[in-house]
Amino acid sequence: MSDSNLNNMKKSKRYDTSHLIEDQTEPGSKGRVLKNKLGITSKREIDRHEKAEQIRTIEELTNVFSVDHRFTASDISKIHNLWLGGIYEWAGKYRQVAISKSGFPFAFPAQISRLMVEFEKGPLHKYTPCRFKTLEEVVKALAIVHTELVLIHPFRDGNGRVARMLATLMALQAELPPLDFRNMTGKGKKYYIKAVHEGMERDYQPMEKVFTAVVRKTLRDRERK
Ligand SMILES: Nc1ncnc2c1ncn2[C@@H]1O[C@H](COP(=O)(O)OP(=O)(O)OP(=O)(O)O)[C@@H](O)[C@H]1O
Ligand SMILES: [Mg+2]
């Protein structure tokens, strides 16, 4: 919400999105919680709720998409809606508000539909089902699909988690265990964000390094069990 681009755009009437639910926060939440169907005003409670719903969704999704499934743009919306449909009005729908993080702007709302069609025809078609022979090929598929989806940032919120859920579904197609993303979300986050930025120039090597670490950690943990 503390989004400079959004604020600048709001100054121009044409881009005023304050009437949209996705641009509103829950009264009484001090602007910290997006307007939701449950009237939750505590950040902690909404985070907990989203987490619990995410765990349920991942379990359900492994029954929805087979190991030889080729993902589409509408599957991405389906995943988002299955996860957040009970919480937010805008679940599964492409966003209409501009979003940037730490000054880095994601795709402009008017471009999202077209970019998702391109994402389906390009990376999703080429790299799913993710049934490649070598780990290098699997990592490349994970890195490209993840980077491109994050750069489009199709939804109001939850883009990172949806992209990670998709990566897990792709990993399962490649007969890997569910991925452990701590290398991406924890200490390695700074490097990961840099890898997202490099993706703008279609340089996916930094993201391949991130996913190599994620896959290695996942496999190491499995060996220990
Ligand atoms: N400064 C940044 N520059 C570029 N991309 C970023 C930046 N910060 C975060 N991101 C990307 O945006 C994602 C967060 O977007 P969003 O808030 O929609 O997803 P989320 O699922 O709610 O959050 P998270 O991924 O942090 O759990 C991150 O996972 C990352 O891929
Ligand atoms: Mg978020």
Q: Is the CB of 218 under 6 A from ligand 1?
A: no
What is the domain-level CATH number for residue 95?
1.10.3290.10
Instruction: Give pLDDT, residue 80.
Output: 98
Q: Take residue 138 and report the two structure tokens written for it.
A: 């699997």
Q: Which atom belonging to ligand 1 lies closest to the Cα atom of 197?
A: 4
Expressed in angstroms and rounded, the spacing between residue 193 Cα and the centre of ligand 2 is: 14
Spatial contact of 128 and 90, defined as CB atoms under 8 Å apart: no
CA atoms within 13 A on the CB side of 99: 23
Owning domain of residue 215: 4-224
CA atoms within 13 A on the CB side of 176: 28
Query: Distance between alpha carbon 98 and the CA centroid of its chain, in Å?
Result: 16
Digitized pLDDT (tens) for each residue of the chain, 225 residues in all: 445 555 555 555 567 889 999 989 999 999 999 999 999 999 999 999 999 999 999 999 999 999 999 999 999 999 999 999 999 999 999 999 999 999 999 999 999 999 999 999 999 999 999 999 999 999 999 999 999 999 999 999 999 999 999 999 999 999 999 999 998 988 899 999 999 999 999 999 999 999 999 999 999 988 887
ω into 129 cis (within 30 of 0): yes
Q: What are phi and psi of 92, to 5 degrees?
A: 75, -5
Residues in the chain: 225
Residue with the nearest Cα to atom 14 of ligand 1? 160
Q: How many domains are there within the chain?
A: 1
Q: Take residue 172 and report the two structure tokens written for it.
A: 């399962």
- Give the C-alpha separation, 127 to 84, whole Å: 26
- Give the C-alpha separation, 185 to 205, whole Å: 18
Q: Is the CB of 150 under 6 A from ligand 1?
A: yes
Among the bound ligands, name the one nearest to the CA of residue 80: 1
Q: Take residue 186 and report the two structure tokens written for it.
A: 């924890």
- Give the C-alpha separation, 65 to 79, whole Å: 10
Residue among 5, 55, 101, 106 whose CB has most ligand 1 atoms within 8 A, to mutate: 101
Residue with the nearest Cα to atom 22 of ligand 1? 158
Question: Would the pTM of this model clear 0.85, i.e. be above it?
Answer: yes
- Longest C-alpha distance within the chain, in Å? 58
Expressed in angstroms and rounded, the spacing between residue 157 Cα and the centre of ligand 2 is: 5
At 100 the three-state DSSP class reads strand
User: One of 69, 80, 125, 153 is an active-site residue; which one?
Assistant: 153
Please identify which residue in the block is written with the tokens 């503390």. Answer: 2
Expressed in angstroms and rounded, the spacing between residue 160 Cα and the centre of ligand 2 is: 7
Assess whether 153 carries a catalytic annotation.
yes
Expressed in angstroms and rounded, the spacing between residue 225 Cα and the centre of ligand 2 is: 32
- Give the C-alpha separation, 181 to 166, whole Å: 12
- Give the C-alpha separation, 100 to 115, whole Å: 17
Task: Report the DSSP beta bridge partners of residue 25.
Answer: 34
Among the bound ligands, name the one nearest to the CA of residue 99: 1
Question: Residues marked as binding for ATP?
Answer: 157-164, 191-192
Instruction: Give pLDDT, residue 1.
Output: 46
Spatial contact of 206 and 191, defined as CB atoms under 8 Å apart: yes
